[in-house]
Amino acid sequence: MRYLLLLTLICGFMLPVTFDVSAQDTQSAATNNTRYVRLLLQNGGMFEGEVLEIDESTFLINTMDLGKMRITKTDISSITYISADEVGQMTFSNRKGDINPQPTRYYFAPSGLQLKKGEGYYQNAWLVYNQVSYGVSDHFTVGMSMTPIGTGGTVKFGTKLSDKVNVSAGAIALVPFTGDSPLGIGFANITFGDERKNLSISSGLGFSDDGDNITLLNVSAMLEVSSNMWIISENYHIVEDELTIISMGVRRASRTRDILWDYALVAIPSEEVFGIPWLSCTIPF
């Protein structure tokens, strides 16, 4: 039952005015007034800066961090003209035009970060594990899961201690279709960092009616390497069995920015097991 538990549970409004890309050719930099722009790219990237030049096929802007950049219009999904004070002020937490990297969880393990009220996502792993989660409020998330061996639910409460520290606690439960006793994990964690780069430390207690409980320790991390890709590592230690599970991979946004794909390799060193693939997709809503 101990390993069954482990395998079951681990396996249009923007500031200020937005112009459609199709209308880009009508824009001109020929003006005496300095203009600033926010460009969102087809691949999820974003650049802001002073408009230096606009021709038939490109924008030339002066960015705060990277200096002068020439961006092809066909790579741009939307153009927003902004004030000088707004340059660099677009926060990823407001979600406007942003890819939501789903930082509330890693491949499976939860972080201390929360879904915002009204946000949700559907996750599928290997076509057999299905989960839907929804933010009832900024501090409370509920979810339902469906697997070939049972169905279950999740609850998660969380809050922000500071700009870079979040905590949460909750539970994940599964009711087997076979009529066996329900399985579950209660957990608590703390996350350091923000939605794009963070480290989480968690502890959990796996439980079942037959008393075959396990204690889990988890350390997971997410690091943004580009505007649409994150490196993720999710690692467990089962205290009673002195068993360690390690995973490393990436989360990547689709070109249309409406799906996130997770790819990882899993290893259990003490069992000399390496290279178990993990594949899942997440569709935010």
Predicted confidence (pLDDT) per residue in 108-159, tens digit: 999 999 998 999 999 999 999 999 999 999 999 999 999 999 999 999 999 9
Q: Which domains does the chain have, with CATH numbers?
A: 2-11+99-284 (2.40.160.40), 17-82 (2.30.30.100)
User: What confidence tier does 26 reach under pLDDT thresholds 50, 70, 90?
Assistant: very low
Share of the chain above pLDDT 70, in %: 82
Spatial separation of the C-alpha atoms in residues 212 and 214, rounded to whole Å: 7
* pLDDT value of position 236: 97
* pLDDT value of position 90: 61
Strands, E, within the chain: which ranges?
Answer: 17-20, 36-41, 46-54, 58-63, 67-72, 76-82, 120-125, 129-137, 140-147, 150-162, 165-176, 183-193, 197-208, 214-226, 229-238, 243-253, 260-268, 273-284
Mean pLDDT over 217-236 rounds to 92
Contact 101, 93 (CB under 8 A): no
**CA distances to 50, 54, 98 from 87, in Å:** 9, 19, 15
Query: Which segment, 60-64, 77-81, 96-100, is predicted with the most confidence on average?
Result: 60-64
The answer, yes or no, to whether residue 166 has pLDDT greater than 60, is: yes
Mean pLDDT (the chain, rounded): 83
Mean pLDDT over 182-191 rounds to 95
The pair of three-digit structure tokens given for residue 188, joined into one six-digit string: 């608590």
* pLDDT value of position 12: 30
* pLDDT value of position 4: 42
